[in-house]
Amino acid sequence: MKIRDLIPWNWGKRQVPVRREQQGEPLRLLQSDINRAFENFWRGFDLPWPSTSSWSISMPSVDLSETDKEIEVTAELPGMDEKDIDVSLAEGVLTIRGEKKSEIEKKEKDYYLQERTFGSVERVIPVPDTVDLNSANATFKNGVLTVKLAKKPDAAAATKRITVRRA
């Protein structure tokens, strides 16, 4: 292909077939072989292949908003209850931890099913020194945790606005 072929006004005048080489093919084949080897390894023990549906450790989605009087942190923790959640505030760090465990056991005439799942989440958020530790509170409703951190009264006075001017 020539540079001339890339110019739009030359398009449609002459069709040049584009041949794409399969450069990534060896890597894809290697990945497929490795996956197959691991699957066969677990089958040899007659155990299920571990998947992300049976366990996970992740960071929950978090929204932060700030006003002159408080900082509000909203975290999504679906499928959890209040007893599964631990919120702590120490040394300028807000830590949100959650742990979800469930166990299903069904015994029927033709089969027996036993399944356990475990998942934990953790999010560490730095907060400014202007936060009043004693006024922090948290509420949990419909899988959404809301933490409100009030600022100290003198925090607004300590803020200095800097005007931005054109250079």
pLDDT of residue 52: 40
Buried b or exposed e, range 49-85, using 16+ CB within 10 angstroms:
eeeeeeeeeeebeeeeeeeeeebebebebeebeeebb
Q: What is the pLDDT of residue 103?
A: 86
Phi then psi for residue 51, to 5 deg, are -135, 170
- Tell me the whole-structure pTM to 2 decimals: 0.55
Instruction: Give the pLDDT confidence of 92-115 residue by residue, as tens digits.
Output: 889 999 888 888 888 888 888 888
- Please give the Cα distance from 54 to 57 (Å, whole number): 11
Determine the pLDDT at residue 49. 46
Distance of CA 109 to the CA centre of its chain: 41
Residue-by-residue pLDDT tens, the chain, 167 positions: 566 666 665 555 555 454 444 555 777 778 778 877 777 665 655 544 444 444 445 778 899 998 888 999 999 988 888 898 999 998 888 999 988 888 888 888 888 888 887 788 888 888 888 888 888 899 999 889 999 999 888 766 666 778 888 87
- DSSP secondary structure string, 35-104? HHHHHHHHHHTT-PPP-TTTEEEE---EEEEE-SSEEEEEEE-TT--GGGEEEEEETTEEEEEEEEEEEE
